[in-house]
Amino acid sequence: MAKIHPFKAIRPTRDKVHLVATRPYYTYKKKVLHAKLQDNPFTFLHIINPEFGSLITTEPNSVERFALVEESYNFFRDKGVLIQEKHPSIYIYRQTAGVHEYIGIIAGASIAEYENDSIKKHEATITSREKMFTDYLNVVGFNAEPVLLSYAGQKNIDDFIEQKSKERAEYEFTTTDLKKHELWVLTPEETSTIQKAFEALPALYIADGHHRSASSAGLKKLRKENNSPSFPNEDFFLAFFVNEEKVNILEFNRLAKTLNNHSEKEIIKQLTSIFEVSALSEAKKPSRPHEMTMCIEGNWYLLNCKPEIIDENHPVKCLDAEILTQFVLDPILGICDLKTDDRIEFVSGEYPLIKFEKKITQGDFKIGFVLYPLSIEEVKRVADNQLIMPPKSTWVEPKLRSGLTIYPINE
């Protein structure tokens, strides 16, 4: 059973939504972020960067900084830039990016179901980061960026979404990253219909947003321990529910700053005991699972895993990201902890290979590995067995805009 929760979203007025909704601030280069803050008084970036243009300075991730975020949020509401839905509702959101279309339901996801593993996880969270997000939510009192949850497709849900999306959308706008965004607000009757349809789902899977969901659960626990006043919305967290067939999983590739005192020739020699190694004439992505490509000093190689290193019976050990760590990064390059070692970096599958190679030929990195993307079935297999995938195993689309439908925890 999947319980989804209608809520009275705080959202931009129709005439300003294209100015308010934004990508997460950390996705912008520093100069671009500054320009957006300087040129757009309505961007949600002002709420999460409340010190811009001010003489006030606070420590990052401090209670004082979070209090300024809450103050900026309330300013946007007082000025009428953000308005609140009159009745609890559920929303349909569609994002179109080139040939990809992502459409699903925005609603509250159950913290109780998160805790009893009806909402399944595949990624470990970092305790310090989880605590920071929990403290943030406790002060500001809202979720602005949904967790991405996938589910096995149901015809009645798909038909409902398709029919509703034929109507005129409440929001329809295109952003400078060439993505089209549409949002529909469900009526009370439609909200009830879709809630009942979701109750038939046996499980949900976190596709993206493990720290956001964990921090919401942490907030519920913190307030209970402190005997704080409770609010109906704190039993849920903001989520975007998408048919798993619509989720687009890309690979997370690896760049390392060290060869661990080995030459290119020595690296290749060691790899031949693990892979079938062949030279490539140009940059190339792998074409199937258990195949990787490698760039070292500007030279590209194709690496095919030998059968004896693939444990197909284990949901994690058979993953290429884990194979790479266990047989290459740790024993050959000396990188054993991908969470803490600053000699390893990760780039998404969206990143062009020509730029990937340039990072190596310019000397920023010594070696890079390009992986084949995981399937949703592989991700679910890990989650169903309550196991954890290697860090940065997947880059998942869609990425939603912050500030489109804000979830008020304290209301």
Give dist(CA 277, CA 101) in Å, integer: 37
Q: Does 25 have pLDDT greater than 90? A: no
Contacts of 315 (CB under 8 A, 6+ apart): 378, 381, 382, 384, 385, 387
Quick: pLDDT tens for 236-288: 999 999 999 999 999 999 999 999 999 999 999 999 999 999 999 999 999 99
Quick: pLDDT tens for 350-377: 999 999 999 999 999 999 999 999 999 9
pLDDT, position 138: 95
Q: Does 1 have pLDDT greater than 80? A: no
Segment 20-33 mean pLDDT: 90
pTM of the model: 0.92
pLDDT, position 50: 94
Contacts of 350 (CB under 8 A, 6+ apart): 250, 395
Q: Does 392 have pLDDT greater than 80? A: yes
Spell out the domain ranges in the chain: 4-248+398-408, 251-394
Query: Does an H or E element contain 132, and which?
Result: helix 127-140
With the CA atoms of 116, 118, 122 and 124 taken in that order, what torsion angle do they form, in degrees rounded to the nearest 10?
A: -20
pLDDT, position 339: 83
Give dist(CA 111, CA 108) in Å, integer: 9
Helix, strand, or coil (residue 50): coil
Give dist(CA 256, CA 247) in Å, integer: 29
Segment 13-38 mean pLDDT: 92
Quick: pLDDT tens for 100-112: 999 999 999 999 9
Q: Which CATH number fits domain 251-394: 3.40.50.1820, 1.20.1250.20, 3.30.1760.10, 3.40.50.720?
A: 3.30.1760.10
Give dist(CA 296, CA 371) in Å, integer: 15
Greatest mean pLDDT among 50-54, 326-330, 396-400 lies in 326-330
Quick: pLDDT tens for 217-231: 999 999 999 998 888
